[in-house]
Amino acid sequence: MDEAAFFERIARRLGRSAPLSAPPARDAVGAPEFWQAYQLPEEERIAKFCAELGKLGGHAEVFDSLAALHEGLRRVLRELGPRRIGLVGGGGLAAFALDEVLAEWETVVWPYAGGGELSEEAARAEVLRVFAAADVGITDCDWAVADTGSIVIAADSGRGRSVSLLPSVHIALIRSSQIRTRMGEVLAEVAARRASGGMPSGLFFITGPSRSSDIENDLTIGVHGPAAVVALVLRG
């Protein structure tokens, strides 16, 4: 349908001769005020995040040093015994200096470029195939939300959306400074990027493992996304 007519019909029904072009005044924006004032101190934020993720069947651990986190990651991976691990590229994960820990496993780093002389189309299909065959995906994140136990990842060129989605297990490395009390804080920080043209093409709130209750309302885990979510939190 003609776009102008579509809008004119809406305006007419609302009693206006032409579509409204000035922003209407608002008296109630976002969450109720008492909720916007909700703020936990850092230690409680960390504890709340771990507890909420735990309730959903996820697993969270907190480490005081990078060396301790390395040890924790090694322990988790040895328990899982993956044949192949997929990793996001980019500086966020690199800062965790995982090379030595991961030396004993086969790893692929996003964007995987092992396809050789392939067309763009074929290269993309190859990358997706490789990561779909990984048992574990390791990512960093942009934020975490204590209230809901959510891990928040924004898409960018170094970070494939697929790394946190296709493998059976998702391990996220988080700095405690990234944990916010409420979702609204994250939303405000993302919205603030709008001015600089920096809206991510995709923003993913990941809250526990993939789940479904579609068969006789019986909860089952890992339907399409990861069946296990592990958050390793580094203080600082």
For residues 58-97, which are near other proteins according to CB under 8 A? none
Question: How many angstroms separate the CA atoms of 175 and 113, rounded?
Answer: 29
Nearest CB to other proteins, comparing residues 104 and 216:
216
Site for other proteins in 98-157 (CB under 8 A): 110-111, 124-125, 127-129, 132, 147-148, 150, 155-157
**Three-state DSSP class for 172?**
strand
Q: Which of 74, 84, 211, 235 binds other proteins (CB under 8 A)?
A: 211
Question: Which of 225, 234, 227 lies closest to 93 in space, CA to CA?
Answer: 234
Nearest 5°: the CA angle 175, 83, 53 is: 35
| Least spacing, CB of residue 27 vs other proteins, in Å | 8
Compute the least distance from the CB of residue 60 to other proteins, in Å. 16
The least distance separating other proteins from the CB of residue 145, rounded to whole angstroms, comes to 9
Query: Quick count: other Cβ atoms within 10 Å of Cβ 87?
Result: 24
Minimum CB separation from other proteins for residue 14, in Å? 5
Q: Which of 104, 236, 100, 107 is nearest to 171 (CA)?
A: 107
Contact between residue 155 and residue 193 where contact means Cβ atoms under 8 Å apart: no
153-192 residues near other proteins, rule: CB under 8 A: 155-157, 160-162, 165, 182-184, 187-188, 190-191
Give kind and range of the element (H or E) at residue 233: strand 228-234
Q: Which is nearer to other proteins, 119 or 157 (CB)?
A: 157
User: Rule CB under 8 A: which of 21-50 touch other proteins?
Assistant: 21-24, 26-32, 34-35
Cα separation, 70 vs 61, whole angstroms: 12
Q: Tell me how far, at minimum, the Cβ of 196 lies from other proteins, in Å.
A: 13
Contacting range for other proteins; rule: CB under 8 A; set: 40-48, 60-68, 172-180, 199-207: 199-207
Q: Which stretch binds other proteins (CB under 8 A): 40-48, 96-104, 172-180, 197-205?
A: 197-205
Task: Count other Cβ atoms within 10 Å, centred on residue 35.
Answer: 11
Count residues near other proteins (CB under 8 A).
81
Length of the chain: 236
How many other CB atoms sit within 10 Å of the CB of residue 223?
12
Q: Report the alpha-carbon distance of residue 174 to residue 229 in Å, rounded.
A: 13
For residue 6, the minimal CB distance to other proteins (Å) is 4
Q: How far is the CB of 183 from other proteins (least distance, A)?
A: 5
Is 56 a binder of other proteins (CB under 8 A)? yes
